[in-house]
Chains A and B, each alone.
Chain A
Amino acid sequence: MSAAQHASSGDTSPEQTIHDPISESLAENERLIGGYFAHCYDIVFRRAHIFGQVPVLVVYLDGLVDTKALDAVLLKPWMLEAPRPGLDELNAADLMLEQRLVSIAKTNTTGTMDDVVKSILSGNVAILSDGSAQAVTAELNGFEQRAVEEPASETTVRGPKEGFTESLNANTGMLRRKLRSPKLKMESMSVGNLSKTTIVIAYIEGIVQASVLEEVRGRISQIKIDTVLDGAFVEEFIEDHPFTFFPQVQNTERPDIVASCLAERKVAVFVDGTPFVLIVPCTFWNAFQSADDYYERFLYATVIRWLRMILITTSLYLPSIYVAISTFHPQLLPTNFLISITSAREGVPFPAVIEALLIEFLFEGLREAGLRMPRPNGSAISIVGALVIGQAAVQAGIISAPIVIVVSLTGIASLITPRYSMGMAFRLLRFPMLVCSGMFGLYGVTMASLFLLIHLTNLESFGVPYLSPIAPLTRSELKDVLIRAPWWKMHTLPLSGSAKRHVRIPNGQRPGGSQGDEAS
């Protein structure tokens, strides 16, 4: 009873450990555990006798345990089979129990009630036997989980199509399949007073930047929170600069991205219960890199990378430049273009900047509605959006046609980034940019860009400057930033800094004849 009170009082207070020892009496144990799990309908106590002789108590949480397996592997043999020879001394030798009677791969023996409760909570089966102060916990997870699917937020045309799921084990397994080396280390820790979420820090020993790894360990171990439901909870605690639109932690659903990042000296953080894995450090140029870049021909990938850069810049600047040029500097337009714009804007009631803000606002609203609404409403939103904004507003002369074109172009461009969270930064920043351009024209746009640049150079992700390797410039690392160099050219690892160079791809592997590589 005291234990139950203990558990119910102050439920979010940090770390309450249960100090009760395991009793030798089964009835006492059942009473204790029943006390911890009072008012939990899903707790199951199953009394049984092994081979009709030794009474044991099997405790688990319904819904977390594979009951079919439990029946087949434990209960059936115990109840239906005759005792095998050599098992006469069955009086609760735990070692015997664990080694010879529980045919389950992952088992553990524990002596404290605290461990028993914890392992029951994480989906294990606890087996207590009469006359023993030890309990055996066996992993028999059987809860419902999603199958491995193609990642919805990062699709590629070529390359692996598997994505992480909500199950931590499955996720780390997927990573291990890509990096079959004992050097791939995965350290587990638990965060969250209520959720007790398992977090795994993955890195490759000998390659990882030790300082970054230390920093990640330190920052995660300091987190004090009740629940961790996604990587974002962790991200907000470990990032360097909270007051910025730019994410300093990369998140991905793809095992191949995690594997390549680990090989590039980064650290990955798996969080149980979410398909998104965090990767640090992360730089600005990440916004322009997609997994497909490495699965297509490098020349094509370079061109596409430039296309992305141009369009993402467009998404930031196009509305402001339109407003600045049309209201402050009309002489910059070609004459015929100006004539079209003037005639389209004739009779429109709002100033260009208000018009642009209005339509951008509407577009963002449409986008958000499209994202949040229940699926069947989709067609309604698109019809109303396209008709009302695209057609009726222009025909009624409330807004001008050019701004609709500008905003739709911007909208498409803002969705082109392969990293959704990076794209959000640019999407949001175009509003202040628009206000600046409405007030000061191109001068305002220039000033705002300078402020943005200053802000970006001040950012840092786990000790790595946000704009590196462009600022500060590291020539050898440019091979994967503005262009995508062919693999046989990427000799050294990025983030190497100046001190030591990690060679990952030896020279002289360029195919096609004897022209050779430099230094080969």
Chain B
Amino acid sequence: MNRRPAAVVAWLLCIALTAGCWDRTEISDRVFDLAASADLKENGTYMIAGQFINPSRMEESPKGGSGGSKSYFIETGTGQSALESIQKMRQKLSRVITRGHRRNYYIGESLAKNGIKDMLDAFSRDPGNRIRLDMWVVKGGTGLQALEVPYPLEKIPAVAPFKIHKAVGGTTGTTYLDYLMASSAEGESPTLPVVDIVKGSSPQKTIRFYGRAIFNRDYRLVGYLNFVEGAYRQWILHKISYLDLVEEVPGAGGSVGVVISRFGSKVKSSVTPDHKVKMRIELSGAGQIVENHTNLDFRELKNLTLAQNAVNRQTSEHVSAMIGKVQKQYGTDVFGFVQTLNRQHPSEWKRLKGQWEHIFPGIEVTVNVNVNLKYFGLVGPPLQFRESEIK
């Protein structure tokens, strides 16, 4: 009895200290990549690159980073497949790659056009990849180029597109998941957000949030929606938190600028007796007038109604045009119409299943934007106007 506790302790110590089953990896034995890129080279091989944190440089940067001491570095690897490229990259790294903090993944335009199917498999099989990831298509460039752009505001430039995405009112952290869900759903087509590399105000290049890339059912890039078009799409899908609209008010000599909040969206499907599918989209929101180039005094209710109707009518037209473009030009359902029909008319859906690619371009879509202009502040007409100019 006396010897037993001591024996248990000794036994536990032996297990703990000699069996070598400590699978810990110190934080200083890991290298964290915050962004990575995948490209297809001209000879058909993959090139994977990663942007890694350089922890010892991170410390120095607050003291005023002189040239050459960047807080990150980029390493690349080339191979026949994604895995082989990563293997090549690993040969150059002294530490274990940890992807738990990777938020951005750039895909070069050429790879996107060629299809990202093969890459996705290796990607989703690795448990080290986090699922809350934003994948980006680099319009007119390679992923590596996007990685190499030094962004002035952030210590690690990879954080920039993620933050831009958030700041312009998008939903971050879900694009990879959305992509997988959309591409595995019957009839739907996946999309990814897009960045492009532009000249900033200084001679330096910088990264810009461009819009949305549309993929077809074969995981190939077919085209782009620009920023506003992409925002309209997000509005339909209820994934937007901020949008500016500038619309002309006919007969008032100018345009009004509106910031929209409290977005709402309803998609109603119907099937006509001759099996034509119809979609009716109701978009709503609350608007605040922040720019007034007209001569209207919004303290008058009729003027406000006039502007509101103009904004609604014209925005409806724009949204319709965007949907028309997707239907005619790309023929890919990126609006979740197929889901809507499935939910609202399950019996019809069963009959139409499998033919969606042919049905989608011919859907009759009516868009009705209903923004309620609620706030215009205390300033009615532009302050610099003379009394006589105001209607």
Contact = CB atoms under 8 A, between A and B. Distances in A.
Contacts of A338: 32, 101
B30 interface: yes
Contact of B55 (A327, A335, A339, A435): A339
Contact of B103 (A326, A335, A353): A335
Contact of B130 (A331, A339, A340, A353): A331
Interface stretch (B16-24, B181-189, B226-234): B16-24
Interface in A394-419: none
B28 A345 contact: yes
Contacts of A331: 98, 100-101, 130
Contacts of B100: 329-332
B32 A342 contact: yes
Interface in B48-94: 53, 55-56, 58-59
B272 interface: no
A336 to B, nearest CB: 9
Contacts of A352: 26-27
B101 A327 contact: no
A351 B24 contact: yes
A330 B53 CA distance: 14
A348 interface: yes
B101 A342 contact: no
A123 to B, nearest CB: 43
Given A330-B98, A335-B101, A346-B28, A438 B55 contact: no
Interface in A306-335: 326-332, 335
A163 interface: no
A328 B98 CA distance: 11
A329 B5 CA distance: 33
Nearest to A352: B26
B56 A347 contact: yes
A441 interface: yes
A342 B27 contact: yes
Contacts, number: 70
A10 to B, nearest CB: 29
B349 to A, nearest CB: 40
A438 B25 CA distance: 10
Interface of A is mostly: helix
Contacts of B101: 330-331, 335, 338
B252 interface: no
B13 to A, nearest CB: 10
Nearest to A327: B24
Contact of B24 (A243, A347, A438): A438
A328 B25 CA distance: 6
Nearest to A438: B24
B243 interface: no
A328 B24 contact: yes
Contacts of A353: 24
Contacts of B98: 330-331
A456 interface: no
Given A331-B101, A343-B56, A439 B32 contact: no
Contacts of A346: 28, 55-56, 59
A341 B32 CA distance: 12
A340 B62 CA distance: 12
Interface string B1-40: 0000100000000001000011111111010101000000
B26 A342 contact: no
Contacts of A438: 22, 24
Contacts of A332: 100
B21 A327 contact: no
Contacts of A348: 28
Contacts of B5: 243
Contacts of B277: none
Interface residues of A, number: 27
Contacts of A347: 28, 56
A439 B22 contact: yes
Given A331-B130, A335-B34, A342 B24 contact: no
Given A330-B98, A331-B101, A439-B22, A342 B28 contact: yes
B16 A342 contact: no
A338 B102 CA distance: 12
Quick one: which of B5, B21, B24, B159 has the most chain A CB within 10 A? B24
Contacts of B155: 339
A124 to B, nearest CB: 45
A243 B4 CA distance: 13
A351 B56 contact: no
Given A335-B101, A335-B103, A342 B58 contact: yes
Contacts of B55: 339, 342-343, 345-346
Quick one: which of B30, B55, B56, B98 has the most chain A CB within 10 A? B55
A348 to B, nearest CB: 7
A330 B27 contact: yes
A263 to B, nearest CB: 40
Contacts of B22: 438-439
Interface in A167-198: none
Contacts of B156: 339
B27 A326 contact: yes
Interface in B155-191: 155-156, 159
A338 B31 CA distance: 11
Contacts of A435: 16
Contacts of A243: 5
Contacts of A339: 53, 55, 58, 155-156
Contacts of A345: 26-28, 55
Contacts of B56: 343, 346-347
A380 B107 CA distance: 61
A330 B22 CA distance: 16
Quick one: which of A331, A341, A348 has the most chain B CB within 10 A? A331
A347 B155 CA distance: 21
A227 B173 CA distance: 70
Nearest to A334: B101
Contacts of B28: 342, 345-348
B151 to A, nearest CB: 15
A298 B343 CA distance: 53
Quick one: which of B16, B21, B130 has the most chain A CB within 10 A? B16
A330 B30 contact: yes
B130 A327 contact: no
A344 B24 CA distance: 19
A345 B25 CA distance: 13
A243 B9 CA distance: 14
A326 to B, nearest CB: 5
Contacts of B26: 327, 345, 351-352
Nearest to B34: A335
A343 B24 contact: no
25 contacts: A243-B5, A326-B27, A327-B24, A330-B32, A332-B100, A335-B159, A338-B32, A338-B101, A339-B53, A342-B27, A342-B28, A342-B55, A343-B56, A343-B58, A345-B26, A345-B28, A346-B28, A346-B56, A347-B28, A347-B56, A438-B24, A439-B16, A439-B21, A439-B22, A441-B24
Interface of A: 243, 326-332, 335, 338-348, 351-353, 435, 438-439, 441
Given A327-B26, A329-B100, A330-B100, 11 more contacts: A328-B23, A335-B34, A338-B32, A342-B32, A343-B56, A345-B28, A345-B55, A346-B56, A435-B16, A438-B24, A439-B16
What 3 pairs between A and B have smallest CB-CB spacing?
A: A331-B100, A343-B58, A342-B55
